[in-house]
Amino acid sequence: MTTPRSADYVVVGAGTAGCVVARRLLERTGATVVVVEAGGPPEGIASSGDPARWVENIGAPHDWAYSYGPEEHLDGRTLLLSRGKVLGGSGSTNALVWVHGHRADYDGWAAAGATGWSHDEVLPYFRRAEEIGVERATDLHPVAQALVEAGVSYGMPALEDINVAEPLGAGPITMDVRDGARTSTWTGHLRPVLDDERLTLVTGEVTGLSLRGQRCTGVTVRTAEGEADIRADREVVLCAGSINTPRLLLGSGIGPAGHLRDVGITPVLDLPGVGENLQEHPIIAGPCFEAAEPLPAPTHNLEGSMAFWRSAADVTVPDLTYVSVQIPYVSAEVAAEHPVPANAFVLAPGLMRVRSRGRLRLTAGGGLDIRANMLDDPADVEAAVAGVEIGLELADQPAFRKLVARRVAPGTATDRSSLTRFVRQSAMPYFHPVGTCAMGTGDDAVVDPQLRVRGIEGLRVADASVMPTITSANTNAPTAMIAEKAADLVA
């Protein structure tokens, strides 16, 4: 295929966000659209299509396989950061959880200056994105059913729908699944319009932005045929995600001027927030239980249900989630200290409302240094430890007691000090990086509430990197929402 020389719009990345933006631009304008994506199609990758096999995508050839660390507050561990290098992006490889988050997430964005992004204003965009097809889990696996029953007996409300405005309690999960197979914005938005003559899908990696003064005029793309320039007559929309979007901005001279000079890049625009404000959800991949009887084969997305809860009585918005993973999904450090049997499952807390902040930087050799800085803030440590304590209480409810032969991990010592050590050994990234090109109106904002890169004309960002603060649940559905709203702002 010949790479086109120009288009009205150039969309960088055909992940969860880029597929939405491209489709909506085709629908609402008579414009030509070029989408550039480094990865190939997910069709034919069994682990992409089968919800119960999603963990096989971690570290696979279609994974960017970035890493966090060394993480100072997780015993210096370096942790894999899985990102989908495939059409559909991480929406083609992730755990398939479709959850909006809490009303307070978006009302907080709006209150901090992101006008137009309150919960009630973004809710229609969630609904629009769900055209891909989403389903609520039924016929739950015994481990998933136990989480719902244990939550209720513990005192949590029964939650029929996790996508209410203020989720609290335990219930079946909603997944981007239709008829047992993964759906995504690739399958639901972009793939159906590939034959549109105004759309060109280019397989290649964008290596730089073309700038003329303070205007972005296009991109440089490296394909199998070599490098080519594509001119954008109207706008370039970056949808490359929370790692590759700031990487591209920094490599093009847009970012903290001092850092750019340190790595040998001449600054074009001193924009201090690029690469800062990185936020990630820690999942405590450690509380593990040997089953009393052989467990059935895994179903749904290995989870099937989830719970939203508070780490303390004075927490107003739930800051914890729980999933009961139908396989022994534990960190390498936990497995080394606690031999894990095959017939086991994990009751994993996730810390959702994090205070810790990380950052992304280029290295002098052209690589990336990404630090999530998880559990840097003492409040995050306290909440995570409380999450394990509550999880052990859930595991002691009747629904789990009848499933469990013994607790594998943590060990018998459950004092505060021992659990803190356990949390630092077992915390893993949920693979939810956000915030590295944050939206706002302050000096550290990278984009304004219309998602325009501050100081550069003809350039917007529409992906999870624009989130000022991380949502209190999985980030795929919010990313699709951002893209739906972005399309309205562009067109």
Q: What backbone torsions phi and psi does residue 388 show, to the nearest 5 degrees?
A: -70, -40
Instruction: List % helix, strand, coil for the chain (3-state, nearest 5).
Output: 30, 25, 40
426 closest CA partner among 284, 219, 282: 284
Cα-atom radius of gyration of the chain, to the nearest Å?
A: 22
Are the beta carbons of 257 and 31 closer than 8 angstroms?
no
State how far Cα 407 lies from the chain centre.
30
Three-class secondary structure of residue 104 per DSSP: helix
Question: What are the φ/ψ torsions at residue 365 (nearest 5 degrees)?
Answer: -90, 5
The answer, yes or no, to whether the previous bond of 328 is cis (omega within 30 of 0) is: no
CB 384 within 8 A of CB 281: no
Q: Rounded to an integer, what distance in angstroms lies between the CA atom of residue 27 and that of residue 24?
A: 5
Nearest to 239 by CA among 68, 23, 79: 23
- Which residue's structure tokens are 């002098």? 364
Which position among 102, 119, 300, 432 bears the catalytic label?
432
**Annotated catalytic, 432?**
yes
Distance, C-alpha 491 to centroid of its chain: 26
Centre a 10 Å sphere on the Cβ of residue 316 and count the other Cβ atoms it contains. 7
CA-CA distances (angstroms) from residue 193 to 6, 33, 92?
20, 12, 18
* Calpha distance 361→212 (Å, rounded): 25
- Residues with a known catalytic role: 432
